[in-house]
Structure 1
Amino acid sequence: MSEPITLNVGGRLYTTSLTTLTRYPDSMLGSMFGGTLPIKKDLQGNCFIDRDGKIFRYILNFLRTSHLDLPDDFQELGLLNREADFFQIQPLLEALQKIKAKATTVRMNTILNIVYDSHLHNIGSFPVKIISVEVFSSSCALLKLLNSKFYYTINGERTPIDTKEENQNLISLEWVESGLNAMGREYLMQNWKSLHVSASHRKIKNLQMFFQQVIKVAVNGGFLLHSFPTTSSSPVIMQFTQC
């Protein structure tokens, strides 16, 4: 067995084996550690490569397993593709091409599904309408965008929307459709929220306004609306493509 080899890639240290580095002999790493190309050393004697150290972990893991494993929310496909091209790892480039083709298909068929409900809560002679909404989407990017644009206010204080990290395809919202200043204490006691949209900071007065603002946020964020239901049946399903 060969001794472990430590690489300094852009300031990050990685330790691996000669077998891993030469798994693909035609790659740059295969040529370097196969004796064809020269190897630079840092002051500590580690093999130095002046490339992105953070992204190199995915390069090295691919060399170890011949399988590309990326986080679900990975946002640096372009950078990883450039690094794979620099290192001339053809099987990795082919795996990335498949992922990009799949991502393009998803972007071209982004579905936004809004399920909503409402009920009245009577405070004396004042009826208060509470709206519950669940927003599903096939695009985590679209949900992340929506999550960043809506916020609550509780007793005048701005509060971010609470998202469930375990389900990246869902945003749950609940707010009071409209409120009266005289009921401020009751709002505080009941923990009622009003919903707003930035950057206009407009208060969402009803469901129709919510739908309109969702479309506006999506379109301004680079999504193109292709279909919207013309009836008032539940749920509301919109179809977008991402530019």
Structure 2
Amino acid sequence: MLNLNSTDSNTNSNSNSLSDPVSLNVGGEIYTTTLDTLTRYRDSMLGSMFTGQISTLRDKCGNVFIDRDGKVFRYILNFLRSSSLDLPEGFSEMKLLRREADFFQIRPLMDEIRRHVEAGPLSQRDSARGALLLVDVDCQVRMLHFNLRRAPENYELCKCSVRVLTAEIFCTWRAFLVLLCERFSYRTTQGLTSPLPSDQRQNRLKLEWVPRPDELPMDQYEKQQFRGLVFSDSWATQTRPGELCDVILPHRSPFEVKDIRVFVEELLTLSLAEGFRVDSMTPDPTGVLNYRSLQLVRY
């Protein structure tokens, strides 16, 4: 059970009721730190929580409870400790980290994340020159049979077709694959999850998703462990040659990618904005959104 610590003019503030070390329960992950670390940036959400400006919750063990992503919080806490953003090689949850930094309103961390993305943490900017991007997309139609319950003792055998969409992407500029992983997310029963490069050493990313047909009930869709693909440009940027992510633009709400044409359109928008140019496509050079294989080069 969570307890709410409230403050009034006749009692001490939350910051006085806490003493070092402080134990935090962030989304089920337990962290131990000091008040000085948590209040390093007093104008942030954490600074307000631990200086008594915002009431805090406690779990049954007495830990201060924060209902946010617990695993990503380690990078936020380490930044508060060292003023340095240290991410592991191949880190693919930058979108989630930025969301959490925005929630906690830690301005220096938000600025550091932006600089980190601009610099392309997985490659040097010079490596982007002459980068090669190869994309192969495919759509396979499958017939799905399932039982539909009409009444307690009445089941009907139903069928519908589903489209299994795939996109296999190879890029010599690994920072661009990271950008794709931030823009495209899988929609699952657990929420949105970021795709991961299938082979980071070979700079490959494979996406596979199944849009849900209207005639397929959600429980049957989930039973098959299908997942949708969502595109978000909430951090969409306008770029200058040689740079990733410069100026933040107005954005659309996240939307589901329901066919290959939509995927191709969004991928081309991203790649052209990052300096790639179409080198070749098959089978139809006159219909760029109808292609099955595409090669782009960044000069």
Please, what TM-score do these two structures have when normalized by structure 1? Answer: 0.50
> CA separation of 1:181/1:234 partners in 2, compared to 1, >3 Å: closer, same or farther?
closer
- Match for residue 93 of structure 2? none
- Match for residue 215 of structure 1? 268
Q: Is the 8 A contact 1:228 1:239 kept in 2?
A: no
Q: Is the 8 A contact 1:114 1:135 kept in 2?
A: yes
Q: Is the 8 A contact 1:146 1:218 kept in 2?
A: no
> CA separation of 1:156/1:183 partners in 2, compared to 1, >3 Å: closer, same or farther?
farther
Q: Distance in 2 between matches of 1:219 and 1:133?
A: 18
Q: Distance in 2 between matches of 1:144 and 1:128?
A: 29
Q: Is the 8 A contact 2:160 2:216 kept in 1?
A: no
> CA separation of 1:228/1:179 partners in 2, compared to 1, >3 Å: closer, same or farther?
farther
Matched, 1:108 2:117: no
> CA separation of 1:211/1:109 partners in 2, compared to 1, >3 Å: closer, same or farther?
same
User: Which runs of 5 or more structure 2 residues have no equivalent in the other structure?
Assistant: 1-120, 145-157, 234-252
Q: Distance in 1 between matches of 2:255 and 2:122?
A: 32
Report the secondary structure of 2:196's partner residue. Answer: coil
Residues 171-196 of structure 1: per-residue CA shift (max 9 Å, x gap)? 11100144327421111111101111
Matched, 1:126 2:179: no
Q: Is the 8 A contact 2:122 2:174 kept in 1?
A: no
- Could you tell me which amino acid in structure 2 is paired with residue 214 of structure 1? L
| Count of aligned positions | 144
Report the secondary structure of 1:217's partner residue. Answer: helix
Matched, 1:240 2:293: no
> CA separation of 1:74/1:115 partners in 2, compared to 1, >3 Å: closer, same or farther?
closer
- Match for residue 160 of structure 1? 194
Residues 127-170 of structure 1: per-residue CA shift (max 9 Å, x gap)? 10101221101111111111111001124721221333543511
- Match for residue 71 of structure 2? none
> CA separation of 1:164/1:205 partners in 2, compared to 1, >3 Å: closer, same or farther?
same
Q: What percentage of aligned pairs have identical amino acids?
A: 18
> CA separation of 1:201/1:233 partners in 2, compared to 1, >3 Å: closer, same or farther?
closer
Q: Distance in 1 between matches of 2:217 and 2:267?
A: 28
Q: What is the CA distance between 1:112 and its match in structure 2?
A: 1.3
User: Which runs of 5 or more structure 1 residues have no equivalent in the other structure?
Assistant: 1-72, 78-102
Residues 89-148 of structure 1: per-residue CA shift (max 9 Å, x gap)? xxxxxxxxxxxxxx64x4332221112232222123311010122110111111111111
Q: Which moved more, 1:115-124 or 1:160-169?
A: 160-169
- Could you tell me which amino acid in structure 1 is paired with residue 183 of structure 2? K
> CA separation of 1:228/1:155 partners in 2, compared to 1, >3 Å: closer, same or farther?
farther
Q: Is the 8 A contact 2:160 2:215 kept in 1?
A: no
Q: Distance in 1 between matches of 2:194 and 2:269?
A: 19
